[in-house]
Chain A
Amino acid sequence: MKAAVIVFPGTWSDADTVWALGKSGISADKIWHRTDDLTGYDLVVLPGGFSYGDYLRCGSIARFSPVMKAVRAHAEGGGLLVGICNGFQILCEAGILPGVLMRNSSLQFRCQDTYLSAENFDSAFTSGLDENRTYKIPMSHGEGRYVVSSTDLERLEQNGQVAFRYANQSGEVSEDTNPNGSVGNIAGVFNNEKNVLGMMPHPERACEMLLGSDDGNRIWESILS
């Protein structure tokens, strides 16, 4: 398993992602956004950060980067693709995933732990996860309120495209456990084929107990199995 971690100008979770993948035994290369070739990589990760400063709208400029053609081709060829935080925003802006990420309902940036309930186990990312527990993974964003039209939401739910929801530690999903106002407490979604995952919380930060949790590793281990 070989991973490409894409670095846009302003990306800052690239080093953390390479570190976390390494902890799970996946070797990863940082790839500058001017590259247009991703052949040879099994997994492509668009990590968190503020690509282009998020000055216009999160992810709206990065989607025009040269590497995005190759990212799209990688996904269309069935390759595994994960967008985390800003990476999720970029995938939505690029139309690779449905929906948009709006300003948090609190109107504030929020950095805190979240407990995620996995909702579907048919993907490479989640096949090894357990429906009887939650995953402690931190979030850190100002614009993570997932919004999608009601028709699209219905389709997402029917197709099992909701990957994660914000829950409490014991798995109950409610308004109280929703940190940013996302529709249906949605924290992460798949594309229709489930080879693309986008999520706002940062699994690469939950990679060691020393830092408070290693639950994020379960996603990478799931891919490996």
Chain B
Amino acid sequence: MEHLEILLSQVAMSKDEYGRLVTMLGREPTEVELGMTGALWSEHCGYKHSKPLFHHFPTTGPHVLTEAGAENAGAIDIGNGWVVVFKIESHNHPSALEPYEGAATGVGGILRDIFAMGMRPVALLNSLRFGPLTEAHNRSLLRGVVSGIGGYGNCVGVPTVGGEIQTHTSYSGNPLVNAMCVGVGLKTNLLSAVAEGDGNPIVLVGADTGRDGIHGATFASVELDEDSASRRPAVQVGHPFLEKLLMEACVGLAEDHSDWIVGLQDLGAAGLTSSAVEAADRGNSGIDIDVTLVPRRAENMSAYEVMLSESQERMLVIPHRKYLDEVIDYFKSWEINATEIGKVTSNRQVTIREEDVVVASMPVEIMTNPPMYTNDSKIDPIVEALALEDLSLEPDIDSSTTNKILFDLLESENLSSRRWVYQQYDHQVLNNTVVRPGGDAAVLRIKELKQGLAVSTDCNGRAVYLNPQVGAALAVAEAARNVIATGARPVAVTDCLNFGNPEKSEVAYQLEKSIIGLSDAARVFDTPVISGNASLYNETPDGQIMPTPTIGMLGVISDVESRLTISPEIGNHIFLLGGLLEQSASTLAASEFQWIRTGRIAGGLSIDLKLARETGDLVLLMHDKGLLSAAHDVGDGGIAVALIEMSFASGYGFRSKTLDLGDRLDAALFGEAPSRFLVATDKPDLVTSLASDHSIPIVELGQVESGNNFGFGPISVDLDLAYERWNVGLKRVIEQGFSDEGDGEF
């Protein structure tokens, strides 16, 4: 019995769940069966605490080609025979222990999800969260993660074009590393990760299988604690060179020989177990695998270890039986090993054997049907009180302090230039990057098409903490504004749900409300949620993370030559669209201004989704009519920060008109009321009349001018000086104490 308890704890299966398994099987499982089922029933693979909420998501649309969650990534038809696939996925727990390899293998995993569908990966993005960088440990994690992302992405030759980094105390010791990948290809080359056709071979391709990463899926499904460092062997080691070969081979297979194969599947969390069982489940089939045929890199591995290894850079190919030799020879021509390890069966049974000895034999359906939990959900009364605070009771700022406040924001950890990070990533390889990192969204062209893609990630965890439903809607709306500001129409969403332990009622509440808010906003923007990932149990002994449902947004520009940047031209008039300058103090809730000045998160958040949609549509209409020379989303730091970012991009100064700032100066300059854009134009009259035709609020702020002065309302600063503070803010905090801290070590 003690042995059983150890086994159950290794696979993070409860005694109740074990009882359920025994009932379903009608007998005790074998050790291999228990290991495989435990991995597939883990939160990481089985989504047992999150899936019951997924019915809220809008998942369909006229252009959606995949059923939500049915394939490795979601696919969107963008017309002319072309498809875009994309997905975001977390690698939080591994990165907490081993930042370089954790982040690197996170990139590797998301790439395989994309090329498993036969599409060529064309862009990577990363959404990262760390504890305050004033602490050496957090800096060390950040440096390790950034090196790992670059080390892997740069080597495989897929550009890292965007992402975000935010810091908050709650991420100390539990950083978030969410990696997103976008792939494109012809619709005719789109593959499915399916195993079907009685007797078709199962071919394992790529790296040999070792003991690395065993129980990785389990480890990702429990809280981090003092003993987590001992789990370091659960973190895998990346081999980007092999991934590059695998990627070329798989994309080439889809392009040139798709008739040879039935299905293509990657090996990720829970390795061969989830890969083979899920492929069989999709095909309504069974599998019969002989583990002695699996090429190993460690001696004396048990069947249990082979089935649960998370060795990286492996793929499963299911060819038609008659093309087996062609497929194996094809991979050999790419200098990659390919080995038949078993076959597809028609009996819906998972059979694992060591030569003639059967070590597991159970129905696919049991493994792929984890228990589903609906947890008691209850708002944390402390948060409830914070959300009810009336911020108008706080004193306003004095106009004499606005220059200093702007500088404080510009050099802050969350708002300063991210150049230190993205200059370490190759963001240009493949010759498609039209708008590089540093703007609202990255823009990519597709060489064969007139259309372009805009991609962005977003989430303000503080806002989601304060009000999960509104906060998650705000994240969708901001990600949509990011792609709209480049001239792209938002078309689909991928999400990465990073939360604490869902068995705690306040976390269950955050999760449920976030999914509802995210879904509401996605419906309003007509952006179905086509793929995603849940990462729960993001907790350390100090507490849980800010709830962080990261949104990855895909937009399509009808003519990529017409894309917009945030850089205006000299003489342009800049307008605020979608809201007025005058705002109530509540728009400071969960803002950067509030965080920097008080270290608190409080106040009532709200968003008018109808206005958000209509304002976005108007910006796209103005762009279609050729009225705009630049556009920028008003986001973190409010209008003052958004406006000066436009000056940083262009190098030009700004002259303010006389403005009605209302009776809250702080809210007017630094408030984060949603739905607002800054647009630059040389046709101010047309822009004004179009806005009033559509009943969208519009205010002219002033004009772009040469010279080095940035003036906006009471703010008047030297542009070069402001740029310098913004440009070095992050670099300075990251590089402090650089010489006496190891890179990614602790």
Contact residues of A with B, CB < 8 Å? 9-10, 12-13, 15-16, 19-20, 48-50, 52-55, 108-112, 138, 140, 142, 202, 204-205, 207-208, 210-212
Contact = CB atoms under 8 A, between A and B. Distances in A.
Given A50-B244, A112-B423, A138-B428, A211 B433 contact: yes
B335 A9 contact: yes
Given A12-B157, A112-B423, A211 B428 contact: yes
A12 B241 contact: no
A48 B423 CA distance: 18
Contact of B429 (A16, A54, A109): A16
23 contacts: A9-B244, A12-B244, A13-B157, A16-B429, A16-B430, A48-B429, A49-B157, A50-B155, A50-B241, A53-B239, A53-B241, A53-B244, A109-B424, A109-B425, A111-B425, A111-B427, A140-B429, A202-B428, A204-B431, A205-B431, A210-B561, A211-B433, A212-B436
A132 to B, nearest CB: 24
A50 B424 contact: no
Given A10-B245, A108-B423, 18 more contacts: A9-B334, A10-B155, A16-B429, A16-B430, A19-B447, A20-B431, A49-B157, A50-B155, A50-B241, A53-B155, A53-B240, A108-B424, A138-B428, A140-B426, A205-B429, A207-B431, A210-B560, A210-B561
B676 interface: no
Contacts of A55: 241
Contacts of A15: 430-431
A9 B243 CA distance: 11
| Main secondary structure on A side of the interface with B | mixed
A204 B150 CA distance: 21
Contacts of B334: 9
Residue among B156, B241, B428, B431 with the highest chain A CB neighbour number at 10 A: B431
Contacts of A138: 428
B431 A111 contact: no
A211 B431 contact: yes
Given A50-B154, A110-B423, A13 B240 contact: no
A210 B434 contact: yes
List the 4 closest pairs (A to B, CB-CB), nearest first: A12-B157, A53-B241, A50-B155, A16-B431
Contact of A10 (B241, B433, B434, B561): B241
Given A12-B157, A210-B560, A210-B561, A109 B447 contact: no
Nearest to A48: B429
Contacts of A112: 423
A140 B428 contact: yes
Contacts of A54: 155
Contacts of B445: 210
A112 B245 CA distance: 26
Interface string B149-187: 010001111000000000000000000000000000000
Contacts of B423: 108, 110-112
Nearest to B419: A112
A10 B430 CA distance: 14
A52 B426 contact: no
A48 B244 CA distance: 14
Interface in B435-494: 436, 445, 447
A109 B154 CA distance: 9
Contacts of A53: 155, 239-242, 244
Contacts of A111: 422-428
A207 B431 CA distance: 9
Contact of A110 (B239, B424, B430, B433): B424
Contacts of B244: 9-10, 12, 50, 53
A108 to B, nearest CB: 5
Contacts of A210: 434, 445, 560-561
A50 B240 CA distance: 10
Nearest to B425: A111
Residue among B242, B422, B426 with the highest chain A CB neighbour number at 10 A: B426
A33 to B, nearest CB: 10
B450 to A, nearest CB: 12
A53 B431 CA distance: 21
Given A9-B241, A50-B244, A210-B560, A109 B150 contact: yes
Contacts of A110: 423-424
A65 B703 CA distance: 59
Contact of B241 (A13, A52, A109, A207): A52
A67 B430 CA distance: 24
B429 A13 contact: yes
A212 B439 CA distance: 15
A179 B560 CA distance: 31
A12 B429 contact: yes
Nearest to A14: B157
Contacts of B432: 211
A16 B242 CA distance: 21
Residue among A20, A53, A207, A212 with the highest chain B CB neighbour number at 10 A: A53
Contacts of B157: 12-13, 49-50
Nearest to A7: B248
A51 to B, nearest CB: 9
Residue among A55, A207, A211 with the highest chain B CB neighbour number at 10 A: A211
Nearest to A17: B431
Contacts of B426: 109, 111, 140
A202 B154 CA distance: 14
B576 to A, nearest CB: 29
Contacts of B433: 211
A142 B426 CA distance: 10
A204 B157 CA distance: 14
